[in-house]
Amino acid sequence: MIKRTVATTIFYLASLSILFAQNKPKYIFYMIGDGMGLNQVNSTEVYLADLENRIGLKPLVFSQFPVATFASTYSLSNGITDSAAGGTALAVGSKTKNGVIGMDSTQTIALKSIAYAAKEKGMKVGITTSVSIDHATPASFYAHQTSRNKYYEIATDIPKSNFDFFAGSGFLKHDTNAAKETVTPIFTLFEKSGYTLAFGKSDYDSVKGKADKIIFMNNKNTDPESLKFAIDQKDGDLNLKQITEVAIESLTKNNDNGFFLMVEGGKIDWSSHSNDAATTLHEVVDFNSSVQVAYDFYLKHPEETLIIITADHETGGMTLGTGSSNLNFKILANQKVSQGELSKIISKVRVEQPKATWEEIKHILSENLGLWSKVKINEAQEKAIFQAYENSFIKHVNATEKSLYASDEKLVALAVKTLNEVANISWASGNHSAGYVPIYAIGAGSELFTHKMENTDIPKKIAQAAALSL
C-alpha cells in the first residue's frame, strides 16, 4: 500500500511538472543577488543552523526550489567580470567587456534586454534594487551606455524605456553629466515623461492609485547611494522586501497581461568587498526575505509564475574553513552593526575624544563585535588591532582601509577580520572572483534550467519559457 502511494505521488508530481512545463509564465521574477556566489549562500545556511546549535544547514527559501544549477560569469574582456558586463550578460544574453552597460563590446550597438522583450509583449515591467537605480546591474536592463560611470546618462534612458515601475535608493547624479556639465535635473526629465516620483512608503501610498508609471525611492534626505545594510536597519527604514511588495502591488494593478520584475539585492556585493562576513550573511537573509515575497505570489499563481534566482558574479572569494575542521559561525551573531557603521562610531570618537584610551576603544569593539567579552582572540590578533589603534589615535597615520564602496577605519577592519578568523571564514580578496554562481528556479519554464550554464543562457531560457523575442 505504501509503495503504491509513493508511486502514485511521484506520477502525480511528474504529471504536474509536465503540465507546468506546457504553460508560459505570465509573471516573471528575475532576482539577482549581486556578488552572491555559492559560498555566500552556503555560509548563510551554515550560520542559521549554527544559531540553532547544530551542525548542518538551515535552508533558505530559494535553495529549496526544485531546480538548481550554476553558471560561469567571465566577460568578453576579462576572466573576472565586473557588474556592468555581468549585469548585461544576465539582461541581454550576450557577453560584453567590463564597464559597458547594455551594449556590445565595440560600444556601438545597443542590445535588447529581456525586460524590453517583456514590454514588447505587453507585460508590465519593473526594475528594482537595494542600491541606486542608476547602478550597473539594474541599469543593464534598461540602459545602453558605454560606461557604467555615466550615471546621469544612464538615468536618462529610463524615460526611453517606458517601463512601468522603478525602485531603489535614488540616483547618484541629478543634474551633472559625465562631462561635468550642468544639465536638466533628472527628476524634471522623469516627470515630463509621465513618471510619478514617490519618496518613501507613505509617499507611494498617497500616489499609487493615481499613477501609471512610478519611480519609488528612499525617503528624502537619505543616502541616494544605497539602502542601509540589513544589519544596520531600524524600524521605518526602507528595505528590499518592502520594495518587492510595492513592485508587485504596482505591477498587478489594472493589469491582465502579466509582468516582468527584476529584483537586485545589491549590497551582498558591497559587504563582500569589505570582507565583512556577518554583514554579508544578513544581506543574504534580507535578499531571501524578498524572495519569500515572490514565492508567496507564486503559491497563488503556480501555473503562471516563473522565479529565477542567480547572481552576476561572486565577490571576495569567500571560503568556509581556514584549516580547522570546526566552523564557529554562531559567534558572528555578536556583530551588531556593519563594518562601515562601526567605522563611523570610531571616527566620531577620534574627533570628539582624540586621546581615547585603548581600554575605551576595546569597550566599543567588544560592545559591537563581542571581542574579548564573548569571543576569545589570541595575543597576535589583539596586538594587530592595538597597533592599528596606536597608529590611528596616537601617531595619526595609516588610519583607513579602502574597499570598492567604503573607506573604513583600519582598526575596525582588523577587528572584523579577527571575528571572521575565529568563525573560521576567510576571503581571497576584496574584489570579484571568477567563481561559479548559483541558479535556482521554480514554476512555469523552470525545467529549462537543469544544466550547467553560461550567464548569457539565463535570459535566453527565460525568453524561451515565456515566448519572448530577445
Separation of alpha carbons 263 and 128, rounded Å = 5
Separation of alpha carbons 57 and 67, rounded Å = 18
Q: Which helix (H) or strand (E) holds 286?
A: helix 277-300
Residues of the chain with pLDDT under 70: 1-22
Query: What is the pLDDT, as a whole number, of residue 10?
Result: 35
Say if residue 89 is exposed, middle or buried (CB neighbours under 10 Å; 0-12, 13-18, 19+).
Answer: buried
User: Per residue in 190-240, pLDDT tens?
Assistant: 999 999 999 999 999 999 888 999 999 999 999 999 999 999 999 999 999
Separation of alpha carbons 102 and 140, rounded Å = 5
Whether residue 241 contacts residue 286, with contact meaning beta carbons closer than 8 Å, is answered with yes
User: Per residue in 68-99, pLDDT tens?
Assistant: 999 999 999 999 999 999 999 999 999 999 99
For the packed helices 339-352 and 410-423, what is the interaxial angle rounded to 10 degrees?
140
- Prediction pTM value: 0.94
Separation of alpha carbons 268 and 68, rounded Å = 20
Whether residue 157 contacts residue 151, with contact meaning beta carbons closer than 8 Å, is answered with no
